[in-house]
Amino acid sequence: MLNRSKDYQLINNFISSIHDELSQIYEVRNREVILKLEKILNIFQEEKISTSHFQSSTGIGYNDISREKIDKVFAKLFHAQKAAVRMQYVSGTHAIASVLFGILRPDEIMLSVTGSPYDTLEEVIGLRGNGQGSLKEFGVKYRQIDINHDKNYAEKIADQINNTNCKLVFIQKSCGYTWRKSLTNEEIKKICTLVHSINPNCICFVDNCYGELVEDSEPIKNGANIVAGSLIKNLGGTIVPTGGYVAGDADLVDLACYRLTCPGIGSNAGINFGLGRLILQGLFLAPQMVTESLNSADLIAAVFKRLEFSVLPNPGSYRSDIIQAIQLRSPQLVQNICQSFQKSSPIDSFLNVIPAEMNGYDSSLIMSGGTFIEGSTSEFSADSPMREPYNIFIQGGSHISHVKIALIQLLSDLLDNNLINREFLFFN
């Protein structure tokens, strides 16, 4: 059961006061929902979406009108020549891997310009693990620079593209498990413009996870050739049970689909298991759900900043994804916070979350994820790799009221365990 602390009223007033301070930010952001939803409604109407597109096929799924129409909807959403939305993608990492394996060939170079990729991609590339099945095993070479910490990044990008067999530039929009600002689409535009000015044939690929519908444009409109992501993040609207997408230049999407299925079949097969309605409805809900996540992130940032923790981004800052990072510098505090959030979850609230090994990750990981969809980050969740400086990454929230409840529970738990100073909760 949720803990009603003796300081409940004090904590509730503290949260409410911070929420009020952010009200103007929320008002602006809530108005933007209308514009994003209108865009999606226009696409639905242009494509004449009907209940016939909720139907399911069987077997191979040739001429599946649901799949074909959903692909067209997502292509228009991303300003792409083509898109492939597939339930067969088990995660965003899987969708990203299909693009990398589809495009890259032996002796060609993949250049990451945002430093080390997200943990789960390291084994895909061959940076970690036994290398079996990795890009490295197939002879693909990897290089990286970090535009976030290198003022001379333009020169280094130019050097890599001019003097090596660089085929693809990889851009991770989100911060991942690093302490950096997530890239804006305007920053992505600058990178893509630079790359294409050096070599128009070099492919700019954006890992778009956590960033969809946050800004008023998408990476392809800003020069990217192809993007990929997950449907249990932003675009799933908290209701799509699995899947991912790729979108971009038609020939590149085809190459990715050749890896998902096989050459000769590509994007022309694959059923959606009768989930067409959920995919379309999830996209319809997504602008509101993303906005709830963003508003929740600002509230979380403001609360932790009041408690004198370092936060990134700061409350009220321009956001380009839904992730809120907090630097805790204590493994025990990470576990305490994750456990408290789990107690406020609708699902598995009774579980005691502890750090554990997880497939694809370098460090032990702790996850507070009492979500209706396993691993969903469009729902309220928190996770942290158990390594210094012990940053915790919080995302999602189908409605800010749930996040308020979770924060009240958290502050009650922290006070009860003498982990925060009660004086922080008084407004001057």
pLDDT digits (tens, 9 = 90+) for 218-277: 999 999 999 999 999 999 999 999 999 999 999 999 999 999 999 999 999 999 999 999
Task: Write out pLDDT tens, residues 29-87.
Answer: 999 999 999 999 999 999 999 999 999 899 999 999 999 999 999 999 999 999 999 99
d(CA 84, CA 95): 10
Task: Report pLDDT for 424.
Answer: 85
State the pLDDT at residue 428. 60
Can you tell me whether residue 361 is helix, strand or coil? Answer: coil
**Mean pLDDT across 203-227:** 98
Give the chain's end-to-end CA distance (angstroms, integer): 32
For residue 83, which of 91, 74, 92 has the smallest C-alpha distance? 74
3-state secondary structure of 198: helix
145/163 Cα distance (integer angstroms): 15
Domain boundaries, the chain: 8-36+284-425, 53-279
Percent of the chain beyond pLDDT 90? 90
Closest listed residue to residue 391, CA positions, set 316, 321, 338: 338
CATH among 3.40.50.300, 3.40.190.10, 3.40.640.10, 3.40.50.410 for 53-279: 3.40.640.10
- Mean pLDDT rounded to a whole number for the chain: 95
List, in order, residues 6 or more apart from 89 with CB less than 8 Å away: 95, 98, 230, 231, 242, 243, 244, 245, 260
Interval 314-332: pLDDT, tens: 999 999 999 999 999 999 9
The dihedral region occupied by 73, where left means phi > 0, alpha psi between -120 and 50, and beta the remainder, is: alpha
8-36+284-425 in CATH: which number?
A: 3.90.1150.60
Cross-strand partners of 326: 311, 392
Asked if pLDDT for residue 345 goes beyond 80, the answer is: yes
Closest of 200, 218, 188, 186 to residue 114, by C-alpha: 188
Residue 148: is it exposed, middle or buried by C-beta count within 10 angstroms (0-12/13-18/19+)?
middle
- Give this prediction's pTM: 0.96
Of the candidates 123, 121, 120, 125, the residue with the CA atom closest to the CA atom of residue 136: 125
* pLDDT for res 152: 83
Residue 156, burial from CB neighbour count under 10 angstroms (0-12, 13-18, 19+): middle
